[in-house]
Amino acid sequence: MEDFLKKAKFSSRVIANLKPKIKIDIMMQMAEHIEKNRDIIIEENAKDIELGRKNNLSYALLDRLLLDEKRILSMAEGIREIANLREPIGKILDGWVVPSGLKIEKVSVPIGVIGIIYESRPNVTSDTAALCFKSANVCVLKGGKEAENSNKIIATLLQEILIKNSLPSEIISLLPDNSREGVAKLIKMDKYVDLIIPRGGEALIRFVSQNSTVPVVKHDKGLCHIFIDESANIQSAIKISINAKCQRTGVCNAMETLLVHKNVASSVLPKLKKEYDNHKTKLLGCERTREIIDVETATKEDFYTEYLDNILSIKIVDSLDEAIEHINIHGSGHSDSILSENYSNSQKFLDEVDSACVYVNSSTRFTDGAEFGFGAEVGISTNKLHARGPMGINDLTTYKYKIYGNGNIKEQ
C-alpha cells in the first residue's frame, strides 16, 4: 500500500505540470477509447450483474450497477464535457499589494492525491477520474465489490491512454487492496493522500469519518424531501412528486419523504396515491395521512430513513414552519424542495432549510454535477467545508499565495 501511494504522490507532481491543452487532448483520447471498447465494458459489466442477481441485489441496486450502450456513450460524452470546461488550475482568485510593497496573488492549485470510495455505480469510475484529471489531481479509486469487473476494465482503459502518452498509470488507479482492511489503511495514509471522498451507505461514511487521519469531504445519505405548500399548483405538484420518487428510486437525489400542508392534503393525497399505485410505490404515512388514504403506518424511524428503493414516507404538516423544522431535524442536508405559488413562502423555505441544494417548484432529481453544468461530480457533499453540494472540478482545487518582492526585508 505504501509503495503504491508513494508512486501516486510522485505522479501528482507530474500531472500538476501538464499544460491545459495536453490534458484536453488526453481526455478526448480517453472518451474515444471508452466508446471503442464498449462491447468489452458491457461484457465485464454482465459478470457483475450476474453476481448481483445471485447475491439478491435489489432491482434499484442492479439498475445502479448496469452499464448498457447508452450509459457507456454517456460516460464518454461526460469525459468530453469535463475536458472542455474552463481550466480550473492557475486561476488568479485575488491579488493585491500590501504596504511593504509585496505583490500577493491567490492562485488555484490541485489538491494532490484524492482517494474516492464509492459503491455500486461503475460510471463513477470514469466520472471521478475525468474530474480529477482535469483538475490535475491523482485519483485513487475504491469501488464496491459488486462492480469489481466493471471498475477494473474502465480504469484499465483510462490507464492505457495515460501510458500511451508517457504518463504514470498511477494518475488514475484502483486501490490495490479492495478489502475493508485496505480502506482502513488508505484513510490513515495522510503522508501521501490529501483528501478522502467517501460516497455510499451510512456505515461506510461513518467508518471513514470516524477513522480517517486524512481530511474527509463526505457524500452522506440523500434523505430528500418535497413539501407541497397550500398554495401549490396541484397538477404540477403531482407531476413533480412522482418524478422525484419514481424516475430513479435508487439514487441519492430521489425523494424519500413527502410533506403535505393540511389544507391541501385531502385533495392531493388521493390523486397522488393513484399515481404511486401505478408505479407500484410502497407508501407509509402518518396517522393523519392514513385517515385520508389507505397506506401502512410510518414509524418515527421511517422519517430518518434513506430507502434507495420504491418506498415513500408521507407526513401532513400544519404549516410551512413545521415543514422546515421537520426537514432540518430529519433530513441529511442534501436536497429539498418546496412546491408553492407563494413567493414569500418560497423564499422563507430557501433561506431557512439547511441543505446543500434547496429548490422551488422542481424535482430534487436535478442535484447532479452534469445537470449543474459541471460535466459530472465526484460526490454530492453534505459537508459545509470545504465543498458543499455537487463537487465539480473547481471543488477539487485549493490555493496557494504567490508573493512577489523586490529586495523586501522585514525590519520590525
Query: What confidence score (pLDDT) does residue 221 get?
Result: 85
Q: Is the pLDDT of residue 212 over 90?
A: yes
Query: Could you give the CA distance from residue 336 to residue 353 in angstroms, rounded to a whole number?
Result: 8
Q: Is the pLDDT of residue 4 over 90?
A: yes
CB within 8 A of 384, min separation 6: which ones?
Answer: none
Query: What confidence score (pLDDT) does residue 219 get?
Result: 81
Is the pTM value of this prediction over 0.75?
yes
Mean pLDDT of 70-82: 96
Query: What confidence score (pLDDT) does residue 255 get?
Result: 98
Query: What confidence score (pLDDT) does residue 179 get?
Result: 87
Query: Could you give the CA distance from residue 364 to residue 339 in angstroms, rounded to a whole number?
Result: 11
Which residues on neighbouring strands pair with residue 360, listed in sequence order?
338
Question: Of 209-218, 273-282, 372-381, which gets the smallest average pLDDT?
Answer: 372-381
Average pLDDT over all residues of the chain: 95
Instruction: Please report which residue ranges of 212-261 form alpha helices under DSSP H.
Output: 234-246
The percent of residues above 70 in pLDDT, for the chain, comes to 100
Query: Could you give the CA distance from residue 319 to residue 148 in angstroms, rounded to a whole number?
Result: 48
Query: What confidence score (pLDDT) does residue 305 get?
Result: 95
Query: What confidence score (pLDDT) does residue 379 get?
Result: 86
Query: What confidence score (pLDDT) does residue 398 get?
Result: 97
Q: Is the pLDDT of residue 200 over 80?
A: no
Residue 166 in contact with residue 29, Cβ under 8 Å?
A: no
Query: Could you give the CA distance from residue 85 to residue 247 in angstroms, rounded to a whole number?
Result: 28
pLDDT tens for residues 253-264?
999 999 999 999
pLDDT tens for residues 133-180?
999 999 999 998 999 999 999 999 999 999 999 999 999 999 999 888
All three cell numbers of 268: 392531493
Q: Is the pLDDT of residue 412 over 80?
A: no
Residue 168 in contact with residue 7, Cβ under 8 Å?
A: yes
DSSP 298-360: PPTGGGG----SSEEEEEEESSHHHHHHHHHHH--SSEEEEE-S-HHHHHHHHHH--SSEEEE
Query: What confidence score (pLDDT) does residue 298 get?
Result: 97
Closest by CA position to 91, among listed 73, 72, 105:
105
* Higher-scoring residue by pLDDT: 59, 150: 150
Query: What confidence score (pLDDT) does residue 386 get?
Result: 85
Query: What confidence score (pLDDT) does residue 202 get?
Result: 79
CB within 8 A of 162, min separation 6: which ones?
Answer: 26, 168, 169, 171, 172
Residue 185 in contact with residue 140, Cβ under 8 Å?
A: no
CB within 8 A of 386, min separation 6: which ones?
Answer: 217, 395, 398
All three cell numbers of 32: 474515444
Query: What confidence score (pLDDT) does residue 203 get?
Result: 85
Amino acid sitting at position 84 = N
C-alpha to C-alpha distances, 348 to 127, 241, 358, nearest whole angstrom: 35, 21, 11
Using DSSP, state whether 408 is helix, strand or coil.
coil
All three cell numbers of 55: 447475491
Confidence of residue 195 (pLDDT cuts 50, 70, 90): very high
Which residues on neighbouring strands pair with residue 114, listed in sequence order?
139, 195
Q: Is the pLDDT of residue 250 over 90?
A: no
Task: Tell how far CA 178 is from the center of its chain.
Answer: 21
Region for 399 from its dihedrals, namely left if φ exceeds 0, alpha if ψ lies in -120 to 50, beta otherwise: beta
Query: What confidence score (pLDDT) does residue 375 get?
Result: 87
Closest by CA position to 310, among listed 334, 286, 279:
279
Query: Could you give the CA distance from residue 65 to residue 46 in angstroms, rounded to a whole number?
Result: 10
CB within 8 A of 73, min separation 6: which ones?
Answer: 35, 38
Query: Could you give the CA distance from residue 137 to residue 225 in angstroms, rounded to a whole number?
Result: 34
Length of the chain, in residues? 412
Query: What confidence score (pLDDT) does residue 230 get?
Result: 98
pLDDT tens for residues 20-44?
999 999 999 999 999 999 999 999 9
Closest by CA position to 332, among listed 363, 353, 352:
353
Region for 126 from its dihedrals, namely left if φ exceeds 0, alpha if ψ lies in -120 to 50, beta otherwise: alpha
Q: Is the pLDDT of residue 183 over 90?
A: yes
Query: What confidence score (pLDDT) does residue 102 get?
Result: 97
DSSP 23-64: HHHHHHHHHHHHHHTHHHHHHHHHHHHHHHHHTT--HHHHHH
* Higher-scoring residue by pLDDT: 251, 6: 6
Closest by CA position to 314, among listed 285, 287, 279:
285
Question: Of 1-5, 192-196, 202-206, 360-364, which gets the smallest average pLDDT?
Answer: 202-206
